[in-house]
């Protein structure tokens, strides 16, 4: 998985792809941040394993941890929504597709998910999408 981060250095905020250990501009140590991201990826991979094993409850738990590490990752919200659909918890699914949409308005999967839910009879609160 390719990693893109925004440097957390004070007044820096440089966008870095495939970051090294230090920010090339301000020199701040990026390792703690990269560790957090890696831990998030670990739980994301666990969730994929849980889903493959059809253990959706475990997947939702793994995804909750992954989201704690990468709270702005729309893909994690989409996957959580899908796991809730598998568990038949459509309102919860809608909540996570809305979250995904708010994080990434161009994301097709969140929109498709919401459309599917609406066709399945879930009433969506459209104002939550604004």
Contact set with Zn ion (CB under 5 A): 7, 9, 12, 14, 23, 25-26
For the CB of residue 15, give the shortest distance to Zn ion in the complex, in Å.
Answer: 10
From the DSSP assignment, how many helices (H) and strands (E) are in the chain? 5, 2
CB of 11 or CB of 88, closer to Zn ion = 11
The closest of 101, 103, 83 to 93, measured between CA atoms, is: 83
Tell the smallest beta-carbon distance from residue 32 to Zn ion (Å). 14
The residue among 7 and 60 lying less far from Zn ion, judged by its C-beta, is 7
Handedness of CA 100, 103, 109, 115 (dihedral sign): positive
Q: Closest CB to Zn ion among 9 and 75?
A: 9
- Smallest distance from Zn ion to CB 73, Å: 21
Nearest alpha carbon to residue 38 among 14, 63, 66: 66
């Amino acid at each position: 998985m390719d990693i893109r981060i925004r440097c957390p250095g004070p007044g820096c905020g440089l966008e870095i792809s495939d970051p090294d250990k230090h920010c090339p501009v301000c020199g701040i140590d990026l390792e703690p941040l990269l560790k957090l991201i890696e831990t998030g990826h670990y739980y994301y991979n666990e969730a994929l394993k849980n889903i493959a094993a059809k253990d959706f409850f475990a997947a939702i738990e793994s995804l909750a941890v992954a989201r704690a590490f990468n709270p702005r990752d729309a893909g994690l919200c989409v996957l959580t929504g899908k796991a809730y659909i598998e568990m038949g918890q459509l309102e919860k699914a809608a909540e996570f597709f809305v979250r995904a949409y708010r994080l990434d308005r161009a994301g097709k999967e969140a929109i498709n998910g919401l459309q599917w839910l609406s066709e399945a009879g879930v009433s969506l609160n459209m104002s939550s999408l604004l």
